[in-house]
Amino acid sequence: MTTCNPPKTEAEARQQLAALYRLCHLYGWTDLTSTHISTRIPGRDDAYLMNAHDEMFDEITASSLCEIGFDGQMRTPGRVLNQAGHEIHSAVLRARPEVSFVLHSHTRAGVAVSAMPQGLLPISQHSGFVLGTLSLHPFQDSTAVADEGAALAADLGTNYVMLLQNHGILTLGRTAVEVFMYHYHLEAACKIQVDVLGATSDPILITPEAMEPLLDWGAPENGPHGAHIWPALMRRVKREQPDYAN
């Protein structure tokens, strides 16, 4: 049985991160090469792993992931740094030492809900998984505003999920599967909300009393989440994207 614990070696970190990129591809969470997932390099505090800006998610392998210094230097020769990605991921990883993985996407539903003045509504069970650990961050171009990464990390606080207004989704995880699970539930909640609000302006909202066990279900203190689903996810990756580990 494949387990999902925080990686203890760089090789483990690379394989888990590459698997996450392939899962994002399989679930349709990509935006050309413009979104990103990162992880720490175990035992080091000077650099982290992330994709280059010149590779599609279904091309990414464990060995193609890039080492990027927290100082912003691309340390993998011949690759293109995603500057916006660096600003976001370096700031969050520095601010949240208990977190191993950070995932940022621009999904259509995620961007749509991030632009709604009411934010994420308690419409679905999926929303309950994330509403208890959800932050908001106003839109700013991360490459054009000084200290945008620090401002984003401050708005995130101790939460594991964020709507970047007019921009998309950010999720954190102590393990690879936890960052996936938070993103999966937030993305599903956003899709459901877009569907419901497209059909009615007066949706049925889950009552606060009924929402309580859902919030408890997704609470970070009751995690890390998702260990039971990681073996199945990895079977899918190995079946449909077996070169991820190369």
Q: What is the pLDDT along the chain (246 residues), one digit of tens a residue?
A: 467 889 999 999 999 999 999 999 999 999 999 999 999 999 999 999 999 999 999 999 999 999 999 999 999 999 999 999 999 999 999 999 999 999 999 999 999 999 999 999 999 999 999 999 999 999 987 777 778 889 999 999 999 999 999 999 999 999 999 999 999 999 999 999 999 999 999 999 999 999 999 999 999 999 999 999 999 999 999 999 999 999
- Which tokens belong to 57? 């998610």
Strand pairing partners for 172? 102
CATH of domain 10-235: 3.40.225.10
Per-domain residue ranges of the chain: 10-235
What confidence score (pLDDT) does residue 140 get? Answer: 84
Torsion, Cα 114 215 25 20, to 10 degrees, reads: 120
What confidence score (pLDDT) does residue 1 get? Answer: 40
What confidence score (pLDDT) does residue 97 get? Answer: 96
